[in-house]
Amino acid sequence: MDITDIFLQLMLTADMTIRLSAVLTLACLAGLFSERAGIFDIGLEGKMLFSAFLSATVAYESGNVWLGVLAGIAGSMVFSLIHGLASITFRGNQLISGVALNFLASGLTVVVGNAWYHQGGRTPTLSGAARFHEITLPFADLLRDVPFLGPIYADVISGHKPIVYIAFAAVPLTWWILYRTRFGLRLRAVGENPESVDTAGISVVRLRFTAVMIAGVLCGIAGAYLSTSQAAGFGREMSAGRGYIALAALIFAKWRPFYALGATLLFGLLGAISNLYPNINVFGLFDIPVQFTQALPYILTVVILAGFVGKAVPPRAGGEPYVKER
């Protein structure tokens, strides 16, 4: 392999990493909003799946992918509303509510999809305006001939589907909201000590609902990406544990926006490696089996969740329903 070859492989990997990370980034930020407000959200997975189904269906029926995305967001927000009612209004167990939503999404999408389209839970293949297409950033073709930087701009940064750019723009936006606005200050406070927010005369319930609904919007976009950008239609269980991976990334990121970007890119990279290089040969001695590379993101998830990567301090009021003390 000469140097151009290696450069090409690296570009290919980077491109794929970005593609695979976008969903995780959105889901991870969704979790960040929710958990920073003190509401654990294990239902990221279910929200994404439900949104993926709805956006594929509506995009197919209407022929307009943007309508599909809106439907996906709406569906995901309905799930958020249920989660909010259960865990904020009725002070139920946040984990159980989230798990219930995951089961609901997994069953509902397949049953309804099968009843409507008779394709074993799949929705019909999307094409044309019912699907997202790559957009070329300005000057991409012009700059392609600039050595080194040109191809990176034209082939790695340019040429993704719109939601990818939305996902990466959401990172600095989240940071700005969290650390530079009044809403962000209150959001961080309510996840650490809801009493301090309550005694300051701010409604804990409204603040937490807002956070949970924002999580719904972000999960909705993430789900829409799965079925209208990454694939061309909905397939059963197509979220494939990405909601849980996003949660692991969130812990790895210590609940911070830019760390979250880093963590999800790392997971994306592992995914890209398993896609591009299924059989890695080690010094001509043996092949690493494809199953191993495919399992890498999940292995990393387990390692992170088991707490092997430094001590992560979650928001202190996380998982606790807020009850005014007597």
Closer residue to another protein, CB minimum distance, 118 or 324: 324
Cα–Cα distance, 264 to 297 (Å, whole number): 10
Render the burial of 54-71: b for 16+ CB within 10 Å, e for the rest. Answer: bbbbbbbeeeebbebbbb
Residue 259 CA to chain centroid, in angstroms? 14
Closer residue to another protein, CB minimum distance, 144 or 180: 180
Shortest distance, position 308 Cβ to another protein, whole Å: 17
Give the containing element (helix H, strand E) for 210.
helix 204-225
Shortest distance, position 311 Cβ to another protein, whole Å: 10
Given a contact cutoff of 8 angstroms between Cβ atoms, the answer to whether 13 and 216 are in contact is: no
Closer residue to another protein, CB minimum distance, 61 or 195: 195
Shortest distance, position 189 Cβ to another protein, whole Å: 5
**What letter would DSSP give residue 85?**
I
Shortest distance, position 178 Cβ to another protein, whole Å: 10
Q: Please list the residues that pair with 282 across neighbouring strands.
A: 286
Cα–Cα distance, 99 to 120 (Å, whole number): 24
The vertex-172 CA angle with 7 and 209, nearest 5°, equals 135
Tell me the three state secondary structure of residue 282. strand
Cα–Cα distance, 101 to 223 (Å, whole number): 15
Shortest distance, position 227 Cβ to another protein, whole Å: 35
Cα–Cα distance, 112 to 122 (Å, whole number): 10
Q: Which residues bind another protein (CB under 8 A)?
A: 179-186, 188-189, 192-193, 195-202, 316, 324, 326
Q: Give long-range contacts, CB 8 A cutoff, 24+ apart: 9-13.
A: 9/276, 11/151, 11/152, 11/155, 11/156, 12/276, 13/269, 13/272, 13/273, 13/276
Give the containing element (helix H, strand E) for 149.
helix 149-151
Shortest distance, position 176 Cβ to another protein, whole Å: 10
Shortest distance, position 324 Cβ to another protein, whole Å: 7
Shortest distance, position 184 Cβ to another protein, whole Å: 8
Closer residue to another protein, CB minimum distance, 186 or 242: 186
Cα–Cα distance, 223 to 71 (Å, whole number): 11
For the record, the structure tokens of 214 come out as 């924002």
Closer residue to another protein, CB minimum distance, 96 or 185: 185
Shortest distance, position 170 Cβ to another protein, whole Å: 19
Closer residue to another protein, CB minimum distance, 185 or 299: 185
Closer residue to another protein, CB minimum distance, 139 or 179: 179
Closer residue to another protein, CB minimum distance, 91 or 180: 180
Closer residue to another protein, CB minimum distance, 121 or 191: 191
